[in-house]
Amino acid sequence: MAITQPGTAVPPAGAGVDLRYALIPVHGYGIAGATVARMLDPEGRGAARLLHPGEPVPSGAWPVLLADTTVYGATCVEHVLRSWPAELPRPWLVLVSDAPAAPVPAARYRIRALGGRLAGAATVPYLPVLRTVEGADEALEHKDVRVAAEKLRRQMEGK
């Protein structure tokens, strides 16, 4: 079974796909989400991609929720998880830091409280270069983005 945003279950469409990570931005699309997709697919072979609004998670792909480290981001994650079907795998959560500071206590608390509903959670540090690039491929040319990508993949792959 697959899931559409924000949590409606639908049957899978045919056999599994080579897509490993299906990324679901919980509060909009932007350079951070596009960069996380490329971080999880360093060779650009289609192992990770952002889903379009309402698109089901393809069979065999691991669902990954994307959110900023804001209270609003945490609230959006909570909203999606409230309607997450029990028969589907718990999603990963990737939090993208929106500032060079720790998330505020209200955001940290809410994410911690949702931890039991997640397969895991990872944080991408604040990457100021994302404010200056035209796309995710350009972002990956920067060392700090490549380092963050390696750390993210290690966290999600358990290595």
Residue 9 lies in a domain: yes
Quickly list H helices, 83-142. 105-114, 136-139
Residue 64 lies in a domain: yes
**130, 31 Cβ separation under 8 angstroms:** yes
- Residues 30-47 as b/e (b if ≥16 CB within 10 A, e otherwise) read ebbbbbbbbbbbeeeeee
**Cis peptide preceding 6, ω within 30 of 0:** yes
Residue ranges making up the domain that contains 18: 2-149
If one counts the domains in the chain, the total is 1
| CATH code, domain carrying 89 | 3.40.50
pLDDT at 10: 34
Residue 159 lies in a domain: no
pLDDT of the chain along its 159 residues, tens only?
Answer: 344 433 333 334 333 348 999 999 999 999 999 999 999 998 889 999 999 988 888 888 999 999 999 999 999 999 999 998 777 789 999 999 999 999 999 999 999 999 999 999 999 999 999 999 999 999 999 999 999 999 999 999 885
Cα 41 from Cα 35, distance rounded (Å): 10
Residue 156 lies in a domain: no
